[in-house]
Amino acid sequence: MSDIDNIFQGLPTTCISDVLGGLTNLDYAIKPIDHQHKIAGRAFTVSIPAGDNLAVLQGIREARPGDILVIAAQGDTRRAVAGDFVVGLAQTFRLQALVVDGVIRDIEGIRSLNFPVFSRGATIASGNKYGGGHTNIPISAGGVSIQPGDWIIGDIDGVVAVPEEQAQDVAKAARNKLNQDEERSLAICGDQASARLYLDKVLGTIPNPG
């Protein structure tokens, strides 16, 4: 996907969350390994039984370049959904990122690949490969329902999902929100008189402050 097609390029998760009322943010514990990583793309979904990552390999094989592999691992923290080898496979097929509702391992190796991985953290044990998962189906990850093809945006603050049918409207509203937020900060922060006026106005709208 070119930058021009990517309607969420450059938008922070916070602004997207604000226009969606905060209802489609994945659990706050799902964070990037590398705080610099920002992702925005379409979900290719995978659902796995806790502790078994065979379907993750299937998802890597089926997903298209640029896709974000979103893995519903039931929040399991006992066995890693991916390590540096599995992440290396995803990178080889030019996927954009992994978002895991579970844990990963080989943090140092994954860091050296410089491939975006968002997860609940790391553990030592690998997953089994007995099977039993599914790909390209509706999933629930981090407490949010995600359909294949929904937009996934992630940065240091976390991960937000945007249903495909709302994407254009949400991206437009989020861009407006970002501009408004930037203008407000420029006009108010750093100037005590403006900051005082702003606070008096906002606090004045509360009937009984304190």
Ligand X SMILES: O=C([O-])CC(=O)C(=O)O
Question: Which chain residues interact with ligand X by CB under 6 A?
Answer: 53, 80, 82-86, 106, 126-127
Nearer to ligand X (CB atom), residue 67 or residue 84:
84
CB of 54 to ligand X, least distance (A): 9
- Report CA-CA distances (Å) from 149 to 48, 57, 68, 164, 167: 18, 19, 9, 6, 11
The helix or strand, by DSSP H or E, that contains position 46, with its residue range, turns out to be: strand 39-47
Helix (H, G, I), strand (E, B) or coil at 107: helix
CB of 199 to ligand X, least distance (A): 51
CB of 126 to ligand X, least distance (A): 4
CB of 195 to ligand X, least distance (A): 50
Closest by CA to 80, choosing from 122, 26, 22, is 122
Nearer to ligand X (CB atom), residue 46 or residue 171:
46
The helix or strand, by DSSP H or E, that contains position 155, with its residue range, turns out to be: strand 151-155
CB of 139 to ligand X, least distance (A): 20
Nearer to ligand X (CB atom), residue 127 or residue 148:
127
Q: Judge whether 67 and 143 are in contact, CB under 8 Å.
A: no
CB of 74 to ligand X, least distance (A): 16
**β-bridge pairing 158-162 and 151-155:** antiparallel
Nearer to ligand X (CB atom), residue 129 or residue 196:
129
**β-bridge pairing 134-135 and 139-141:** unpaired
Q: What are phi and psi of 3, to 5 degrees?
A: -60, -30
Return the half-sphere exposure (C-beta side, CA atoms, 13 A cut-off) of residue 188: 14
The C-alpha atoms of residue 154 and residue 101 are separated, in whole angstroms, by 13
Alpha helices in 20-160 (DSSP H): 54-62, 84-92, 107-113
Nearer to ligand X (CB atom), residue 76 or residue 84:
84
Nearer to ligand X (CB atom), residue 7 or residue 57:
57
